[in-house]
């Protein structure tokens, strides 16, 4: 059945107009991006196939990891629809990061820090360590990707973290790294690395305010959850 043959109450376009984009399912939103079906398959059916593809075991989240060619190979997608989907995903990332790139942002709560790093790191498929450097008012000065790889395989180089802090004249910093597995619970290595970094900061007068663990759809503040001392 074509989209136009559906009852208006279940058509994605009409539902978005009447109920707002947030009321639509992932499948409906993707169908709007796809626009048209092909060979007897509706746009909504194509969207369902994409989200249930073996290449996308985690649904919408997995689309960020699919290459253009992998998307193109899914039945009913092809080159043009794949390009439209990738472009829409990139716009979503940039829109989310526009919050993060505002140099006036102030890290006045753990929730703000979690949101900041969640928007930048939740879609990464490999582990990375990031640091946000702040002034005395907890405003963002700089954001650096320190390394790629897990804390226990790459490690956080305290000297480099604080070398950059001194260079940008930071009064404090917030560390973050992601768990591509999706589980945002801090590991023993995470806790030890955080305590070591916090002790180093105390020696040179730069506060390590928090360590955010970014999972899939959720982030954990180590400070808020009692894994580190408040400075």
Residue 100 CB neighbour total at 10 angstroms: 17
Determine the pLDDT at residue 211: 95
Q: Model pTM greater than 0.85?
A: no
**pLDDT tens per residue across span 167-218:** 999 999 999 999 888 888 888 888 988 998 999 999 999 999 999 999 887 8
**pLDDT tens per residue across span 56-87:** 666 666 677 778 888 888 888 889 888 998 89
Cα separation of 208 and 206, whole Å? Answer: 7
Determine the pLDDT at residue 207: 95
Determine the pLDDT at residue 18: 86
**pLDDT tens per residue across span 152-176:** 544 567 788 999 999 999 999 999 9
Q: Is 177 helix (H, G, I), strand (E, B) or coil?
A: strand
């Amino acid at each position: 059945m074509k989209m136009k043959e559906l009852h208006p109450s279940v058509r994605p376009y009409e539902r978005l107009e009447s109920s707002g984009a947030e009321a639509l399912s992932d499948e409906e939103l993707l169908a709007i991006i796809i626009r048209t079906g092909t060979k007897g398959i509706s746009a909504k059916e194509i969207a369902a196939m994409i989200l249930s593809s073996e290449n996308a075991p985690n649904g919408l989240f997995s689309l960020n990891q699919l290459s253009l060619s992998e998307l193109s190979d899914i039945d009913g997608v092809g080159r043009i629809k794949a390009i439209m989907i990738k472009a829409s995903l990139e716009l979503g990332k940039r829109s989310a990061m526009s919050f993060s790139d505002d140099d006036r942002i102030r890290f006045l709560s753990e929730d703000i820090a979690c949101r900041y790093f969640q928007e930048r790191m939740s879609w990464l498929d490999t582990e990375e360590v990031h640091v946000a450097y702040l002034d005395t008012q907890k405003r963002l000065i700089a954001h650096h990707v320190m390394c790629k790889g897990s804390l226990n395989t790459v490690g956080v180089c305290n000297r480099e973290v604080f070398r950059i802090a001194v260079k940008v004249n930071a009064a404090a910093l917030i560390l973050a790294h992601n768990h591509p597995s999706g589980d945002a619970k801090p590991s023993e290595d995470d806790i030890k690395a955080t305590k070591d970094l916090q002790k180093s900061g105390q020696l040179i007068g730069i506060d390590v305010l928090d360590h955010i663990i970014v999972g899939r759809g959720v982030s954990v503040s180590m400070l808020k959850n009692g894994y580190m001392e408040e400075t």
